[in-house]
């Protein structure tokens, strides 16, 4: 009898020209700005996800961005539990949209746990390859090895991992001699399912040259992870497979505000045009 290897499970990959809308969950329990119940947080996240679905977005990504200042790579069980409650509410509100999870900062295994419990399709992972210094402090160890072993241990191989390269809000002097293309090749070698390119900070556009370098270097979907607007979405999606949008679609273009239905529809229209 011949043994056959277990086939690799199909994982979510964004369709060409996809728009992934960010839902920034309000401050979670135990964080400095926390003031609301988990039920309220989940209800707001669900409303924003429904707005994104109605506007025509292709997927939704939830993130705990209001939890600043962030912990470095480790969060408490209360964060994982609250994010799971929010993810489940988003799933119910927008059942037809693929769902992603990110837990800041670089708490990738917590994000994986939330994704598994809520039935999400992907996570956004920081610090996947190479070391760097973020505003949370030194991130000295690449997380690809531990994260993908945890995915295997949990029998969660169906969950895709989209890896940030040279992430925003970080200094990359440690890897100044490593190009975006080389980082993309390393992430591909370490089995990432997609590559995320950002600008230097939230709201800054990902350089087209960096998007093109990553797309040329590795046979993986490349996602623009910041700074997408109605003015640059067409140019961005001519190079990147997908765009993650968090700031421009919020009221007044500020990520701290709720999703603005009119701005969300306008971005979809610009992308489809």
Residue 143 structure tokens: 């997380």
Residue 47 structure tokens: 């409303």
**Interhelix angle 108-118/77-93, nearest 10 degrees:** 40
Which sequence spans correspond to the domains of the chain? 18-272
Residue 219 structure tokens: 């046979």
The predicted pLDDT at position 1 comes to 46
Helix H or strand E encompassing 48: helix 38-55
106 contacts 41 by C-beta, under 8 angstroms: no
Of 224, 243, 151, the closest CA to residue 190 belongs to: 151
Of 209, 207, 269, the closest CA to residue 234 belongs to: 269
Task: Note the pLDDT tens digit of each residue in 217-241.
Answer: 999 999 999 999 999 999 999 999 9
Taking phi over 0 as left and psi of -120 to 50 as alpha, with beta for the rest, 188 belongs to: alpha
Q: Do β-strands 222-224 and 194-197 pair in parallel, antiparallel, or remain unpaired?
A: parallel
Pick the CATH number of 18-272 from 3.20.20.70, 3.30.420.310, 3.40.50.300, 3.40.50.2000: 3.20.20.70
Task: Note the pLDDT tens digit of each residue in 20-38.
Answer: 999 999 999 999 999 999 9
The predicted pLDDT at position 7 comes to 58
Rounded Cα distance, 252 and 196, in Å = 25
């Amino acid at each position: 009898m011949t043994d056959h290897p277990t086939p690799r499970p199909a994982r979510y990959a964004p369709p060409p020209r996809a728009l992934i809308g960010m839902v920034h969950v309000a401050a979670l329990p135990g964080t400095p700005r926390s003031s609301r119940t988990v039920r309220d947080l989940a209800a707001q996240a669900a409303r924003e996800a429904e707005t994104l679905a109605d506007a025509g977005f292709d997927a939704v990504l939830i993130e705990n961005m209001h939890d600043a200042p962030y912990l470095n790579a480790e969060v408490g069980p209360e964060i994982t539990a609250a994010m799971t409650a929010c993810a489940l509410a988003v799933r119910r509100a927008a059942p037809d949209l693929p769902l992603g999870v990110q837990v800041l900062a670089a708490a990738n295994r917590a994000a994986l746990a939330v994704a598994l419990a809520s039935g999400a399709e992907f996570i956004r992972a920081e610090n996947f390859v190479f070391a760097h210094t973020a505003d949370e402090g030194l991130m000295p160890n690449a997380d690809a090895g531990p994260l993908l072993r945890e995915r295997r241990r949990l029998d969660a191989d169906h969950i895709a991992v989209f890896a940030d390269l040279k992430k925003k809000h970080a200094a990359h002097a440690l890897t100044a001699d490593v190009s975006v293309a080389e980082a993309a090749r390393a992430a591909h070698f370490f089995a990432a399912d997609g590559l995320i390119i950002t600008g230097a900070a939230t709201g800054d556009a990902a350089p087209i040259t960096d998007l093109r370098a990553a797309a040329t270097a590795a046979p993986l979907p490349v996602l623009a992870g910041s700074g997408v607007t109605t003015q640059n979405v067409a140019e961005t999606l001519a190079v990147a497979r997908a765009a993650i949008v968090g700031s421009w679609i919020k009221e007044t273009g500020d990520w701290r505000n709720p999703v603005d239905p009119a701005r969300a529809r306008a971005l979809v229209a610009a992308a489809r045009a």
